[in-house]
A = this chain, B = another copy of it.
Amino acid sequence: MTLRVGELSESGLLARIFPLLDGSASVLLGPGDDAAVVAAPDGRMVVSIDTQVQDRDFRLQWANGYASTGYDVGWKAAAQNLSDINAMGAVASSLVVSLTLPETTPVSWAEGLTEGLNAAIRELGAADCSVAGGDLSGGSEIVVTVAVMGSLQGRKPVLRSGAQDGDTVALAGTVGHAAAGWAVLESEDDGGGGQLGDSGRFHDGRPDDGGDRPDVVALFCRPRPPLAAGPAAAIAGATAMLDISDGLIRDAGRLARASGVSLDLDRAALAQLARPLAGTAALLGADPMDWVLGGGEDHGLLATFPPGLPLPDGFTAIGSIVPGGRKIESVPPVTIAGIAADTVGWDHFAV
């Protein structure tokens, strides 16, 4: 018999969830009172909020038979919020979590979610961060909202709007891998012959129960934002930064427009980013460059640095800010080797 959350009281469910969470030095007063208290050592707090909705952001059953486990959804909820703090050059200090769960949700799924949250914080290296509090509600579909707080450690936040003419454009982390994983999950089969792993098993959310998922599926389900890179970029003097959550071209466009500059991406660097995805793309009959240019949710960082500055660990140059580009009406915000990215057919870049 599967125990469902509707069979427990709110306090009964909380009593199962709270012991699964680690504490941290940043959380001065944790769950249990009307509100928590979190340290903000430099007198400021960076804050963001992000939501995942069942059948929009994850599926309990994908077309190819895989399941998003509670552990996956918790991991992803933590990871995408931690990434927003990373993108400001800050270090996360706490999460508060609101879970809306149908009464039929297995208690083990909610426990898995909690373990996934906790594991992402730990394994991604957010050592000063823990869950400070939360809220539970009933609803007809699962909605997971996390608000995240972080510390700038005395530094200025790195905004989207600071890129300058001549800056180097650099990437930390991956792009396109999560999109490839999503394509595998949404494919009707697993690529034939089981090359894409063991499918069809319902995972109840334990950390060792990810199945034999291909790397790109694992990365879609449990993204790994490069949390050391954000503060490193800020310390190194990054002029602008954001995390790539909606695709390289779209997010590069946001940075370019916010900064009033034109951003050119390097064709060879993009080809290099597509290379590790070639095998999966071939199995699905897809173009890996579509994933590199349009895929979000790897939560890599796109940042700009003054020209000639050594890039901090984890960053690779993939383009530059076009000198004078902002002055020329006809230069679009994002180009690839000088050609407007939104008018370039992706197959120009097949590798």
Contacts and interface: CB of A to CB of B under 8 A. Distances in A.
B34 A145 contact: no
Given A138-B56, A141-B139, A149 B45 contact: yes
A90 interface: yes
Interface stretch (A35-43, A171-179, A287-295): A35-43
Interface in A24-42: 28-29, 32-42
> Which secondary structure dominates chain A's binding surface?
strand
A185 B34 CA distance: 28
B135 A37 contact: no
Contacts of A143: 51, 100, 137, 139, 143, 145
A98 B100 CA distance: 13
A49 B135 CA distance: 6
B39 A145 contact: no
Interface string A198-242: 000000000000000000000000000000000000000000011
A269 B9 CA distance: 31
A40 B47 contact: no
Contacts of A33: 88, 157, 159-161, 242
A42 B160 CA distance: 28
A1 to B, nearest CB: 26
A67 interface: no
A134 B48 CA distance: 7
A40 B41 CA distance: 9
Interface residues of A, number: 61
Given A45-B45, A47-B132, A100-B143, A53 B157 contact: no
Nearest to A87: B34
Given A53-B137, A100-B51, A157-B29, A242 B34 contact: yes
A118 to B, nearest CB: 17
A40 B44 contact: yes
A97 interface: yes
A160 B46 CA distance: 28
A264 interface: no
A133 interface: yes
Given A138-B56, A145-B145, A47 B35 contact: yes
Contacts of A140: 140-141
A225 to B, nearest CB: 11
A49 B133 contact: yes
Contact of A48 (B44, B52, B57, B133): B133
A135 B77 CA distance: 13
Contacts of A51: 98, 100, 135, 137, 143, 145
A48 to B, nearest CB: 4
A163 B187 CA distance: 60
B147 A49 contact: yes
Nearest to A132: B47
19 contacts: A34-B87, A34-B160, A34-B242, A35-B84, A35-B90, A36-B46, A37-B157, A38-B47, A43-B43, A49-B98, A49-B134, A49-B135, A49-B145, A51-B145, A52-B137, A56-B139, A96-B147, A135-B145, A140-B140
Interface of A: 28-29, 32-53, 56-57, 83-85, 87-88, 90, 94, 96-98, 100, 132-135, 137-141, 143, 145, 147-150, 152, 157, 159-161, 241-243, 258
